Chain A
Amino acid sequence: MSLLLKKHPALAWIALVVFASLCSLAVVWAQKNHAPAPAAPVAPNEPKPKPHPVTIKPGPATPRLDTGLKDPTGQPITAACSTCHSTTTPNVARNSAHDLFQAHRGLDYAHGSLTCLSCHNAKDYDTLHLADGRGVAFPDVMTLCAQCHGTAMRDYLHGSHGGMNGHWNLAQGPRVRNNCVNCHDPHHPKFPLVRPVLPPRDRISVPTGH
């Protein structure tokens, strides 16, 4: 190597020039790469606009029973649950409506091993109750559901359970979320079978599995 350089000193100069140009290129490249870096942390310091709200649809209004009668203006006459239930004796063991002959006939009930009074409040039939006996108004039913369905509630709170509408980016617009009972019938929470819509009519078929 040294012999070669002695023979051709110009080679050393060429090597030096190449090395120098590579160095300057590297510096330029490094500057290019590092230049935008300080710009990034600036953005989060800017005042963030107040995010739009996430609204959860309210639960059902306090139910009333249709008596089948009409008032003089033609409006149906309804009665509060407590109207009848104030005169009946609560049956804590009741877990089905199949043998009822007055109200609640035909109620399709399938919700685990729960009884009516697991959720309905025998002290005030116009409300529901939590496991510890505290009353809950019908529109706040999600608190009640969450007692048993903790994992579903956890996912719901993280936005990975339950349907929604509106904006993914709350800086740009609001979001409306479904309540538990918008999708699940509390007396029969399992989804019913549905007929699928819009069968595909592809001209080029994909494997059909047949």
Chain B
Amino acid sequence: MNDPTPASPKTSCGSGCSCASAPNDEGNSTRRSVIKGLGATLGVAAYAKALAPLTELTKETSMDEFLQKHYKELSKEEIATVIARLTRETKEKYGADVTISDPKPQEGVKFGYALNLSICNGCRKCAEACHLENNHDRASHQSYIRVFEMSKGSMDFEKGNVHYDHPVPQPDKYYMPVQCQQCEHPPCVDVCPVEATWKENDGIVVVDYNWCIGCRYCEAACPYHARRFNWQKPQIPAAEVNPDQGYLSNRIRPQGVMEKCTFCLHRTRNGRLPACLEACPTGARVFGDLNDPNSEVRYVLENKRVFVLKEELGLKPQFFYFFDE
């Protein structure tokens, strides 16, 4: 390193003796080859690591799935084939016999949801019902509903606490469950680069889980924190898998895709009430058809003090909150 004549590296010791030259050359080549070898090894390792998802792909993804068209482009026969494949795969991966349907929006129906903040007691039974109904990953307690514990007087759910774990309701608090607001102008749909999510005629924003690329733009765009990402393949014991599934709703999602509340469309498009409403022990939830002037939800909109979350954003949520007094 401190060689006085670095310009002529061959005569390394400077005195002209033959002692240093040969071994030094040898040392250089050894170091080079070691570095080369190291570099090559690192390169191969990085390459292998980079290609690892491809091996996962072949393991987890069939060619049919890889080549599947967008939901809206599937013909009736093609969707039947896809559903048959998904049913088979659920049996293989989860050991559960399920029925996957593809219910369409009802003519002239537009779903609306209202929630009575005067009665909600924050018990999180709705979140639990969602967890079970929608085949969420068991370990992560995933659910489309977050219940915020709010200080009385505050309306900003960003300041609410979702991690409360004490008997409820506390006297100085109220409880605000937040799920997908099924916006009239959904920003999550606007930002999707592949049109894997869209708003259906009955107002429900859906995701084609087989078209989603998992970029999570929609999660970032949603001001209600309503979208969830499947970080892992959902783990559900076979006995706990809800067999009544919808292609656009509660079928078990693959790893790496977004998911969201669909107002339980596999139930509600067949006339049934959403799971979270049926589970509510206080009766705080009101669900129905906004286009029907005699519906329960219309009664709430016309007779109660109703508000929507983050109204100033102009997204026109179809989920309403109200107070009794």
Footprint of B on A, CB under 8 Å?
43, 151, 155, 158-169, 171-173, 175, 178, 183, 191, 193-204, 206-210
Contact = CB atoms under 8 A, between A and B. Distances in A.
Contacts of B159: 207, 209
Nearest to A157: B299
Nearest to B272: A167
Given A183-B282, A209-B159, A209-B161, A198 B140 contact: no
The residue in A166, A198, A203 that gathers the most chain B C-beta atoms within 10 A of its C-beta is A198
Given A163-B280, A183-B282, A200-B141, A168 B272 contact: yes
Nearest to A196: B124
B127 A206 contact: no
Q: Is the interface of A mostly helix, strand, loop or mixed?
A: loop
Interface residues of B, number: 56
Interface in B123-147: 123-125, 127-128, 131, 139-141, 143, 146-147
B289 A160 contact: no
Contacts of A151: 324
A160 B282 contact: no
A208 B296 CA distance: 33
A167 B116 CA distance: 20
Contacts of B286: 159-160
Contacts of B121: 191, 194
A160 B285 CA distance: 8
Given A158-B296, A164-B273, A168-B273, A194 B141 contact: no
Contact of B169 (A175, A183, A193, A199): A193
A191 B282 contact: yes
A204 B227 CA distance: 11
A207 B221 CA distance: 16
A159 B296 contact: yes
Contact of B271 (A159, A172, A200): A172
